[in-house]
Amino acid sequence: MTLLACEGGQPVRPDFLVFGRPKIGEEEIAEVADTLRSGWIGFGPKCLRFEAEFSRFAHAPHAVSVNSATAALHLALIVLDMRRGDEVVTTPLTFAATANVIVHTGARPVFADVDPQTQNLDPGELERAITPRTRAVIPVHMTGWPCEMDAIAAIARKNGLQVIEDAAHAVEAWYRGRKIGSLSRFTAFSFYATKNLTTAEGGMLTTYDDSVVERLRILRLHGLDKDAWKRYSQGGFVPYQTLEPGFKYNMTDIQASLGVHQLKRLERNLEVRERLWHLYDEGLAGVEGVRTPRLPASPGTRHARHLYTIQLDLEKLSVDRAQFMKALSAENIGTGIHFVPVHLHRFYQNTYGYRRGDFPEAERIGDRTVSLPLSASMDEDDALDVVTAVRKVARHYLLRETVASIAIEAETVMPDARV
Ligand code: T4K
C-alpha cells in the first residue's frame, strides 16, 4: 500500500492546492486600476452600475450593495424592526453570521434541524419551532442547493412570518424555474474571497419591496440622507442630515470593479465547477469510508455548486475527521469544514442553553463533513489529484473489519474471482 505523506510517503502533488482560491481575471485587474486612477474609490458610479446589473441578473426589482452578506442580513432584520422578545428561526448548519445578526437585533435565534440529504432547513422542523413570538425565518441555501422554498413560503404565510433568504452560497441558483434573489421579500448574497462571485469582501441585498429600498440605502451609510457621490457629483458640497443612526455597511467602487466582471464570468466559472463536481462524483463513487453528495430531483432547480462536501463514514475509519483532514493536507490538498453547527458554539450554548443532541441531523453532518476544493481557479488535473488523495487516505484508514467485510462481499458476488 502507498505510504501516506503524513507518515513519510510522497504527497499526491508537489504544491499545496488552496481551498477556496478565488479566480480573478485581467478584466477585474484593469477595472480596479481604472477606478484607482479615477480618484473616486468609495461608494460611487461603479457601485450603482454593479447594483443595476446584479438586480437584472437576480430578477429582483432592487439590489442594494453592502460590504458583506452579514450586513445584508442585518439590514433586512432592522427594516423588519426585529427586536428583543422576537424570535427568528434558522438552521444550525450555517456560518455563525446568519445567527449573529439575529442576536445583534436583540431577537432570539431559534434553530430548527436540517434535512439529512439536502442539508437545508427541514420545513417540518421549521413548523415545529414556531411560537407566538416567531416573526421571521432565515433559510440558508447550503452549499448552493436551494431550500424547499415553496414549503417554507407556505409555512411563513400561514404563520405571518417574514422570509429572509441567506444565499451566501447560492448566487447562480434557481428554484423551480425562479431565480434565487427574486422569490422572497429579502435575499442576502455574499461576495467574500472564497465565494462564487467575489469582490474580496462584499454583499448584496435584493428585494421586491419598493417601500424599504430608500431606507436600506440610508441605513447602509450612517443613516445619512445623501451619500458622498450625491453630495459631490453636482460639483460642490451639499449639506446632509442624519435621519437615523445607521451603519458603515457600504460597498466601494474598488469592490464593485471586481463585481461587474465577476458577474460577467459567472456562468463560465459555474461550468468549470460543474465539470470538477462531476469528476469528484465519478472518482469518489463507491469509495469505502466516504459518501458523496446526493440531491433529490427538482425540475427547474439549479445548484450553484459552491461547496462539494463529502461525509466521512467514521464507523468504517480508524481515524477521526481531524486526522483525515490532516492526512489530506500532507498530500497537499486543502480542505474546509462547513460547518460546526452554530448551536455547538460556546456563545450559543452559554447564552441560550443549546446542547449537543438538540439537532441530531445537523450534528451528524457537522461531525463528518469535509469540503473539498471547488473553485473556477482549479483545472481537471487538480480535481483528479483531490480524488487520488481522498482515495489514498480513505483506503489507508479503512478499519480492518471493514476491509474484511468488503472482501467477503466481493467473494459472495464474484465466486469465480477466487483463484
Ligand atoms: N451565510 C453563510 C451561509 C455564509 O457561509 C457566510 C460566509 C455568510 C452568511 C456571511 O457572509 P459574509 O458576511 O462573510 O459576506 C469564511 C468567511 O469569513 C465567510 O465569508 C464564509 N461564509 C465562511 C464559509 O468562510 P473561513 O474562515 O472558513 O474562510 P477563510 O477566510 O479561512 O478562507 C478559506 C480558504 O480560502 C483558505 O484556505 C484560504 C483561501 N483564501 C482566503 C482568502 C481570504 C484565498 O485563497 N484567498 C483569500 O483572499 O471563513
Q: What is the pLDDT of residues 174-186, one digit of tens each?
A: 999 999 999 999 9
pLDDT over 60 at 222, yes or no: yes
Confidence of residue 418 (pLDDT cuts 50, 70, 90): very low
The single residue listed with the C-alpha cell 431559534 is 110
Q: Is the CB of 19 under 6 A from ligand 1?
A: yes
Confidence of residue 412 (pLDDT cuts 50, 70, 90): low
The single residue listed with the C-alpha cell 476544493 is 373
46, 158, 195, 316: the catalytic one is 195
**pLDDT tens per residue across span 136-162:** 999 999 999 999 999 999 999 999 999
What mean pLDDT do residues 187-216 have? 98
Q: Is the CB of 190 under 6 A from ligand 1?
A: yes
pLDDT over 50 at 332, yes or no: yes
User: What's the pTM?
Assistant: 0.95
Rg (CA), the chain: 23
Cell of 334: 486543502
**pLDDT tens per residue across span 358-400:** 999 999 999 999 999 999 999 999 999 999 999 999 999 999 7
Instruction: Give the separation between CA 247 and CA 191, rounded to whole angstroms.
Output: 19
Q: Is the CB of 371 under 6 A from ligand 1?
A: no
Q: Which atom of ligand 1 is nearest to the CA of 334?
A: 38
Q: Is the CB of 334 under 6 A from ligand 1?
A: yes
> Residues 164, 187: contact at Cβ < 8 Å?
yes
pLDDT over 80 at 169, yes or no: yes
In the chain, % of residues over pLDDT 90? 91
Q: Closest residue (by CA) to atom 5 of ligand 1? A: 95
How many residues would you count in the chain?
419
Q: Which atom of ligand 1 is nearest to the CA of 338?
A: 24
* Active-site residue flag, 195: yes
pLDDT of residue 416: 44
pLDDT over 90 at 208, yes or no: yes
The alpha carbon of 20 and the centre of ligand 1 are apart by a number of angstroms equal to 8
User: Which residue type does 130 have?
Assistant: I
